[in-house]
Amino acid sequence: MGQNDVYRFLKKNKQTFFTAKDLAGLCGINVMTATSNLKKLEKDSYIKFKTVVIGKTNHATKLYAYIKSDTHLDAIYNEYKKLSVDERFNHLNADVRMLMIVGKELKKFNEAKAK
């Protein structure tokens, strides 16, 4: 299970915090792999974390969760899925379909910027 699988698990369980050890057990991977994946996701701002002190030992532990709002990215992904099943675009490969969507998004961005 890779970084994308950990991300999808956190996204499926939105706003629920997990330790790296918990995530490793729930995703069926070892703790070191989970920690490595979480650090990458955290660095790229795909997930959020909070640090808590557990018990009387003053041992700080990071808890990770998916909290980021990505409605815009979901809309782009849904548009890509629509293009994938539309018979008019069957002759185009995935890269060309994605470029069509990126071009459309850049046009929207430039129009909003010009206002």
**CATH code of the domain covering residue 19:** 1.10.10.10
Is residue 50 within a helix (H) or strand (E), and if so which, with residue range?
A: strand 48-54
Same domain, 61 and 94: no
Query: Which domain covers residue 103, as residue numbers?
Result: 71-114
Q: Which range (6-20, 60-74, 82-96) has the least confidence?
A: 60-74
Same domain, 9 and 58: yes
Same domain, 75 and 38: no
Provide the domain count of the chain. 2
Same domain, 76 and 57: no
Which residue do the tokens 């782009």 mark? 76
pTM above 0.85, yes or no: no
Given a cut of 90, whether residue 60 has pLDDT beyond it is: no
Same domain, 57 and 8: yes
Same domain, 80 and 97: yes
Of the pLDDT bands very low, low, confident and very high (cuts 50, 70, 90), residue 13 is confident
Of the pLDDT bands very low, low, confident and very high (cuts 50, 70, 90), residue 52 is confident
Higher pLDDT, 2 or 29: 29
